Structures are given as C-alpha cells and as structure tokens.
Amino acid sequence: MTTSPAPLQRAGRSAGIALAVVLFADFMDLLDATIVVVAAPALAADLGASEAQLQWTLAAYTLALGSALITGGRIGDSYGRRRIFLAGLAGFVAASALCALATGPAMLIATRALQGLAAGVMVPQVFGIIRSSFDAAGRARAFGAYGAVLSLASVAGPLLGGFLVDADLFGLGWRTIFWINVPIGLIALALGARVLPESTGGERTRLDLRGAVTVTGAVLLILLPLVQGRVWGWPWWGFALIAAGVVVLLAFLAAEARLAARGGQPLLDPALLQIRSFAAGLAAALFFFGAIAAFFLTLSIYLQAGTGRSAWQTGLVILPYAIGSVLTSGLGVALAARAGRALAVTGSLLLAASQAMLSWLVRDGQDPGYAMLALALFAGGLGLGLTAPILVNVILAGVPGRDAGAAGGVLSTVTQIGGAAGVAVLGTVFFLAVDSAPDRLQVFSDAFGSVLSWQVVLYVVAAGLMLLLPRAAAPDSGH
C-alpha cells in the first residue's frame, strides 16, 4: 500500500508556480480543442484536405481526449498525479510538434489523435494536484483560477487562432497554432519537475482494465456519432450507436458497483454519482458547456462567411467576451463561499440574456456592427466568468480527496460530451439552414438566430439545475 502524502498547505511563490504550471497545461488543452476551427480554411487549403478530412482533424482530438479522461484520472490517483501529469504533458508537447510538421491530412489526423490521448492523461491530474497542493482557503482560490482559465480558453481559441493565421509568423501559417505549444510546454515541464508535489489517492491498486476498456468504448460510441453525425447525414445507425453507448455505459456502472461491493478498486466508484452536488453539477455542466461549444463555432462562421470578416477581425469581435469573463472571474471566486449558487445561477441567466440580445440584433439580416456585437458579447462574458469558476469549485467540493483524479476525469468527460452534443445538434440546425443559400447574409442571420434561441433554453435549464447545488461553494477539507 502506498500512502498519500497529506495536503502540503503550500503558500507563496512555490504554490503560485505549481498552480501556473498545471493551469498553463490545461489552457493548452482547452485552446487546442477550439483553435483549429478558425484555422481550418487555411489548413485545408495548404494540405489539400477534404471537408471529411477537416472534420476528422477536429474529431480525432475530441474522441481521443474524451476516451482517455476517466482512465487517465484513475491512473494518476493510483500511480502518482505529478508523474502522470508530466508524462502526459511531455506527450502533448511531442504530439503538438508532430501536428505542426504534418505533411498531409492523414498525418495531421493521426497526430491530433495522439495529442488528444496525451491531453486525456494530463488534464484529470490538475484537480488532484490542486487538492494536494493547497490548504482549504488556497484551494478555493486555485479552483477559481482554474474556472477563469476555463472561461478564457473558450474564447481565446478563436482570437489567438485568427491572429496566428493572419500574422503568418515566419511563413509558418496555420502551423503556428501547434508550434506555440512547444516552448510553453517545455517551460511548464521544466518548472513542473521542480515544484509540483507528488500525491496519490492513498492506495496503489491494479488498473481496472476491463472497466477502462468498457468506459472507453462507451464514450467512443456516444461521441463518434455526435461529432460526425452531420457529415454522415444523421443515419439511423448513428442513433443506434449512441443508444448502444448508453447501454454500455450503464453496464460499466453496474460492473463498477459490483467491484466496489467486493472490496475492489473500481475505475469509477459509482458512489461518486450519489454525491448530490457532484451529480447536479455534472448535469448543469452538460447543458452549460454544450451551449458554449456550439456558440463559438456558429458565431465564427456567421462572422466570417456571413458578414465577410477576416479571422483576425472575428477574433476582435470575440475579445469583449474574454474581457468580460476575466473581470467577473475574480469577483465570483471572492464571493463564492458566501453566495456560490446565486452567482452561478445569475451568470447562467446573464448568458441567456446575452444570447437573446444577439438573436434580436441579427434578426433582420443586417450586420449589427462592432459596437452592438461587442456589448452583447461583453454581457455574455460577464456571465461566463460568474459561472464557470463556481461550477468547478462546487462540483468537486464534496468529492473525497482519494477520488479527485477520477472525479476530474468524469467532469472533463461530461464537459466533452456536452460540447460535442452541442456542436452536433446546434451545428446541424445552423448548417442545414445555410447549405441552401450560403452566400446570403439573411440566411446566415436566420440560422445563427435559431442557434441562439436554443442556447437561451440551454442556459435557463442549466440555471435551474444549479438551484440544486449548495448555497455556498465553501472549500472542503481536502480529505
């Protein structure tokens, strides 16, 4: 048996550097999930990629990441979160370099899958490392910082992607979106090896291989049709795959419950799902992040293909959203211990109001102009900053420290499934509307307005689920 070290109660410069390392790594993962969207036209032109290959460039990362998260979290809990985090980060940096060196679509798809697998190993360790590195008060601030990064990364992808593609640094074009990970990742590796603490879930056990294979299959069965459904034309067998994935997932949970009852160490302890705040938070995250993922994809296409903006101009339109989220993230963290649920609900409803305002602005098929778009997006950013940090803190607050990595993997997996489902369903609503007449602004405006209306509903539903969370996002004891 390997005993987990007690929380280190870190403070000062060392703790700040440790937090910066894991947040930079997580930021790179979140960034790479969205940055390719804006760079896609340049990437396709340079590599001669077909629409299907371009779709798989996006899908390969999402599928590989989603399939590895829960297993990656449990491996870190058992064999050391610092060790597994650094291994995943090294793999992510290497895969990013291979993506940048891709000579054709097939190589890029394969290396994107490797990048996603590495991220799936790395990301779940962030939660466990934060739990073991900070005392209760510091942990609340650290999870708040994580939420801020989550908010910022969701809007930084289109902004940074537009800048890098248009800037064409050193003549590298779209390849810079991957090269940028290399120096940042190497610095994070060097610092992480020096300052990150080691921790485990308290006991080293054999990996539940059957559970790992089963949950990986379930996630792939659910994600694959969601990610590729529009390209396939939504055939009946795609829905059959999703149904099969749900059945396999239920079988996985039943098998894990039997293993836990026999005194074994399951990949995912079903008891986690009985924690009220964790279960309610997962449901809220599913709707909340599903709306966000679909929003930036359709907004980017509306701005570029509909209004004729460049990638960089599109990024500038999105900038107020990022500014708004950064401004309120700090406020949310400061007040979370007293009014966490109220802030989360307020933020989600503010996002709903922002989407409603955007829907009204684009209703007549005219370009609303930068000022009006910026105002609506700024309001949405304020809402995102209030909600995302609170969600992370509340969802993980009641989870035992020994299961922090596994719970983080579940949270990240649900977020991935929510994002994929949002893009699949709302993306289909959008593209079906514009495919008939892709050169008319009115068509793009109507399609974008339909997506915005559905997003209002998703944010309102998420706000309702957040009412089931505890009133305050008080930090737990860490045990």
Reported as a single tens digit per residue, the pLDDT across 14-31 is 677 888 888 888 788 777
Domain contains 252:
yes
Domain contains 7:
no
Domain contains 201:
no
Domain contains 75:
yes
Q: What pLDDT score does 32 carry? A: 75
* Residue-wise DSSP of 280-293: HHHHHHHHHHHHHH
Residue from 281, 333, 303, 284 nearest 430 by CA = 303
Domain contains 1:
no
Between vectors from CA 430 to CA 427 and to CA 432, what angle results, nearest 5°?
Answer: 105
Q: What total of structural domains would you count in the chain?
A: 1
Judging by beta carbons within 10 Å of its beta carbon (0-12, 13-18, 19+), is residue 401 exposed, middle or buried? buried
**Residue 31 and residue 166: Cα distance in Å, rounded?**
18
Residue from 261, 256, 271 nearest 398 by CA = 271
Reported as a single tens digit per residue, the pLDDT across 158-176 is 667 777 777 777 878 888 8
Name residues of the chain where pLDDT drops below 70: 1-14, 33-34, 38, 51-52, 136-137, 140, 147-148, 150-152, 154-159, 200-208, 311, 332-333, 336-337, 397-398, 401-406, 408-409, 435-439, 472-479
Task: Provide the CATH number for the domain around residue 385.
Answer: 1.20.1250.20
Domain contains 477:
no
User: What pTM was estimated for this model as a whole?
Assistant: 0.73
List C-alpha distances in Å: 65 to 21, 33, 53, 200, 230.
20, 10, 18, 22, 21
Domain contains 4:
no
Q: What range defines the domain where residue 137 resides?
A: 12-196+206-466
* Residue-wise DSSP of 216-272: HHHHHHHHHHHHHHHHHT--HHHHHHHHHHHHHHHHHHHHHHHHHHTT---SS-GGG
Domain contains 473:
no
Sorted by sequence, the CB contacts under 8 Å of residue 68 that are 6+ apart come out as 116, 117, 119, 120, 121, 216
Q: Which two tokens stand for residue 445?
A: 């405006």
Q: Estimate the crossing angle of helix 370-397 against helix 404-434, to 10 degrees.
A: 150
